[in-house]
Amino acid sequence: LTAITQLVHHGMLYVPIGYTFGAGMFEMEKVKGGSPYGAGTYAGDGSRQPSELELEQAFHQGKYIAGIAKKLKAAA
């Protein structure tokens, strides 16, 4: 998040996903990254790979932001 403040300061639009990922945001059975600010993963020493749920959240974030960009372009 620290990089976001610098980029927004220079005019970048930042669209967090909020709670649009649904029930996947509240999964508590396994360790997982991600938050309402965006997708993420816990890497540690590099031995852990992103889980299927983390990858699904990242895909959701990409689709969500692409949808916002499409709306912005249509309005221009």
Q: Which amino acid is at 71?
A: K
Q: What is the mean pLDDT of residues 47-68?
A: 94
Domain count for the chain: 1
Q: Predicted confidence band at 66 (pLDDT cuts at 50, 70, 90)?
A: very high
What's the pLDDT score for residue 30? Answer: 87
Helical H runs in 1-76?
A: 2-9, 52-75
Q: Given pLDDT bands bounded at 50, 70 and 90, which one contains residue 19?
A: very high
> Is pLDDT above 90 for 44?
no
Mean pLDDT, residues 18-34 taken together: 91
| Containing structural domain, residue 33 | 2-75
CATH label of the domain that carries residue 64: 3.40.50.360
Evaluate if residue 1 carries a pLDDT over 60. Answer: no
Q: Smallest Cα–Cα separation from 21: which of 40, 45, 47, 5?
A: 40
